[in-house]
Chains A and B, each alone.
Chain A
Amino acid sequence: MLTNVLIAVWLLTFVLGQLLLKPALDAERTAARSHRGLLFALAIASMTISFFLGVGLLQKLELSYLFPFQGLSVLLITAFATMVLKEKLTLPLALGALLIAAGVMLVSAS
């Protein structure tokens, strides 16, 4: 049970970090300069938490079992990038993200 919760937190902190990172670095300068520093710091903090949780989980689980869970994040990030960051969701991107997620699930389930 605790392992499943930690895997979920590991995944969600990673996704959150990605969503904060994009506006912090975007060449289009979508976020105000003062906000970009804060967003970058929060992104790094979120991904650092995810990193050390990952190291802890690797002590208990096989790499080829644990890491593919992160593949689920492609669906979450594609969805949140469309909803939160207003990125364009094209058919190839949606189809490709589904194929990648399915492939990653197959890899992790085997």
Chain B
Amino acid sequence: MTTTAAPPPPALPQAPAPPRRPSALGALLLIGLTALFGAGSELCLKVGAVRATGAGPDWLPAWLGLGGLASGWVWGGIVFTLLAFLTYLRAVRFVPLGVVFALSNFVHVLIPLGAWGFLGESISGRRWLGIALVLAGLFVIARPYARVEGRL
């Protein structure tokens, strides 16, 4: 008596591999970079917007802000905005929007510090208190999230 081997089952179509998820630390790093690029963007845009005041055709309403494109600083701000956007896109794929957006508010700490350091704007005691509150909020959200999730 001879036996014949059963034919191999037809290969099932392979499901696409799921996207690689970043570690909690990696996600926090991405969000930190988003805030850093975002602060750089706003500082550049402020310098450019002031220097380009009055630029652009007369028929264009000034409040549209398109006259700002006459300044290289505004274009620098656009580059920083794109970098911030790309890092944000990567983070928002894997982290809940509420969490990633809340943590990206680190930019509200970096902007007053940058405006103080680079633009000569002042930081009052009340503003320092606000910065401390934002930092406390970031800590309250990030600490348990990173500890519980491990890998996001």
Contact = CB atoms under 8 A, between A and B. Distances in A.
Looking at A55, A74, A92, A95, the one whose CB has the most chain B CB atoms below 10 A away is A55
Given A59-B49, A67-B42, A110-B127, A102 B97 contact: no
B112 A54 contact: no
**Size range of the chain A interface in the assembly:** 35 or more
B96 A81 contact: yes
A53 interface: yes
A58 B49 contact: yes
A19 interface: yes
Interface of A: prevailing SS? helix
B43 interface: yes
A89 B81 CA distance: 29
Overall SS of chain B's interface: helix
B64 interface: yes
Contact of B137 (A18, A100, A108): A100
Instruction: Pick the most buried of B42, B74, B129, B134: most chain A CB atoms within 10 A of its CB.
Output: B134
Contacts of A53: 63-65
A64 B21 contact: no
Contacts of A87: 96-98
B132 interface: yes
A63 B43 contact: yes
A108 B111 CA distance: 12
Interface in A45-93: 51-60, 62-64, 67-68, 71, 73-74, 77-78, 81-82, 85, 87-90, 92-93
Nearest to A89: B98
Contacts of B115: 63-64
A21 interface: yes
B80 to A, nearest CB: 12
A59 B53 CA distance: 6
Nearest to A47: B85
B130 A110 contact: yes
Given A52-B64, A63-B42, A107-B127, A102 B133 contact: yes
Given A22-B92, A55-B65, 6 more contacts: A53-B65, A56-B64, A64-B127, A102-B130, A103-B129, A110-B124
Interface of B: 18-19, 21, 42-43, 45-46, 49-50, 52-53, 62-68, 74, 81, 89, 92-94, 96-99, 101-102, 105, 108, 111-112, 115, 119, 121, 124-127, 129-141, 143-145
